[in-house]
Amino acid sequence: MVASVPEFPISRADCAYTSCYCEENVWWLCKAAVDRGLGNRSFAVFVSNTHQTIPLWRQQRAAEPAAAVVWDYHVLFVLKTQTGTFVYDLDSTLPFPCPLEDYYDLAINPEGIATRLRPNYRRLFRIIAASTFVSHFASNRSHMRRKDGTWSAPPPSYPPIVSNEGKTSMNLDSYRMMDSVSVSALDSASNVFGLVVSEDAMVNFFYNGPNMQVAVLKGSAGSSNPPSE
């Protein structure tokens, strides 16, 4: 079990956390990493797909330990260090942080299920450099408002996050919607919304380095029954 990473000694108790606002929770983790000079080695990773049905295991909201939670999207914080790559998922029951290989085996692909998922459950990953995400992300939380104006989940107590440029109060959809797949260098100056990759390409990205060009392919159809919440 990993208690902490020396370059980024932060615990769950240290984190800003609001249930159902994972993008904001990760924004604060990204900001903490950038403030520590780790902006070039840390990333926000949005997980979703065209259908907005993505299963993850080892989630706190699972009905039972072996069950998956099917999110419309989820957001992770990932940190590359000299000793390994670590995933920080505040909604997971796994250690915080969790080595990427363990998170992949237990939360993303338990027992090799990824190759058997039906097409509408295949996951895509949008990878954004932490420094870019901190500068450009904005959310007025309107996606959490019901038609009658009430909240579908209580919002954080702090003010909504706005981009450094102040040009927009809401660009969350540009991160969480993955209707198309793009291939570009993550560090491109124009690529403020990051890089969308397949599951295998995501793993390769974090093991081979952020400057590579990634061939992006949507996964082939599986034949198993979809996971249930």
List residues with catalytic annotation.
22, 74, 89
Return the amino acid letter for 15: C
- Nearest CA to 107 out of 47, 50, 153 is that of 47
End-to-end CA distance of the chain: 27
Burial class (CB in 10 A: 0-12, 13-18, 19+), 163: middle
For 177, list phi and psi in degrees, rounded to 5: -85, 130
Structure tokens at 197: 């990759």
Between CA 91 and CA 96 the distance in angstroms is 10
